[in-house]
Amino acid sequence: MNRIDRLTAILVQLQSKRLITGQEIADRFDISIRTVYRDIRALEEAGVPIGAEAGKGYFIMDGYHLPPVMFTREEASAMLLSGKFLEKQSDKSLKTNFDNALLKVKAVLKFQEKDHIESLEEHVAVLSVQRPTHTDFPNNFLSEIQNAIVTKEVLKFDYYASYKDEFTTRQAEPSGLCHYGGHWHLIAYCRMRKDFRDFRVDRISKLRGQGEHFSKDRKADFHNFVKKMILGSPLEEVKLRFDKAVMRYIGEQKYYYGFVEEKPDKDSTICTFMTPDLGYFARWVLMFGSSVNVVSPNELKEAVYSLVEELHSHYR
């Protein structure tokens, strides 16, 4: 990137947040802090009113605005692809908001870029299993939840617990959103349970703001809760010996089962995993039949053997 383009990009970056640190600029453009200082000075000499807070960062004075920013073909294409994923991984409120934003992006593109995006849109598809809709779960709350997280507003909603097949009414102080297992999850302090809980957003019904705001900053609580979810369960090391012929079929599956490393060994490959649940892991091992051998632990061998006996008894 030449310097003129970088200066323009820095100016756009400065308008994206109230304060931007010199290190953020340096990291984005892979330049030194000294070069950042020179670029900021060049923008100031060009008449851009840039202020600075000692030890915090740079900002643009109130009242200064750039003309409307033009999107490049590549940037618009990236937004289009993001929108395709959003269609499958989000709720109705975010889809609507993103569609409106994408229309505004398309509106400022040059005719040639518009044709490019229109052509690309017809040749991109994200395939996913369509989940059945249920009138009890409108799945339309992500925008409201995002706003409540920022404004620290207490939320009230009915939550469906599948293991009990019942609804309970909760009041919660929203901490953050987390996406895993194909679903969005609201991490919040539940006033009924008096602790942090994980609520799957597509199981929430009748969500409404209470008009009440809490004062505590939940950012640290959110990150600690997510860390506990990931590392909270004790992990056990597993070693499997796969026939080399079957390794090609494992592909990226292994990363969903705690894959750590693999080592070639003659006509086989020894793979190491860390798993919190040997019973669940045993069912995956069973998929590969005689093409895999459990090296360790013995408890996993017993779990696989037990499943085989169960299947044999069932089909006999």
* Average pLDDT for the chain: 87
Strands lying side by side in the sheet with 292-296: 259-265, 268-275, 236-243, 292-296
| Cα–Cα dist 174/167, whole Å | 19
pTM of the predicted model, to two decimals?
Answer: 0.62
Strands lying side by side in the sheet with 195-200: 195-200, 183-190, 166-180, 153-161, 204-213
Q: Is the pLDDT of residue 88 over 80?
A: no
Confidence (pLDDT) at 170? 96
Cβ of 210: how many Cβ atoms within 10 Å?
Answer: 12
Q: Give the 3-state secondary structure of residue 32.
A: coil
Q: Is the pLDDT of residue 158 over 80?
A: yes
pLDDT over 70, % of the chain: 93
Confidence (pLDDT) at 233? 66
Quote the Cα angle for 57-38-65, to 5°.
60
pLDDT in tens, 6-64: 998 898 888 888 899 999 999 999 999 999 999 999 999 988 899 999 888 999 888 77
Q: Is the pLDDT of residue 206 over 80?
A: yes
Confidence (pLDDT) at 162? 74
Fill in the amino acid letter for 32.
S
Confidence (pLDDT) at 155? 97
Question: Is the preceding peptide bond at 67 cis, omega within 30 degrees of 0?
Answer: no
Does 241 or 4 have the greater pLDDT score? 241
Confidence (pLDDT) at 68? 64
Confidence (pLDDT) at 131? 56
Fill in the amino acid letter for 204.
I
Mean pLDDT in residue range 200-209: 91
Confidence (pLDDT) at 240? 96
Q: Is the pLDDT of residue 2 over 60?
A: yes
pLDDT tier, 232 (very low <50, low <70, confident <90, very high otherwise): low
pLDDT in tens, 96-120: 888 888 888 887 788 888 888 889 9
C-alpha closest to that of 61 among 21, 10, 15: 15
Whether the Cβ atoms of residue 281 and residue 238 lie closer than 8 Å to each other: yes
pLDDT tier, 67 (very low <50, low <70, confident <90, very high otherwise): low
Mean pLDDT in residue range 190-217: 91
Beta carbons within 8 Å of 120's beta carbon, 6+ residues apart: 77, 80
pLDDT in tens, 279-288: 989 999 999 9
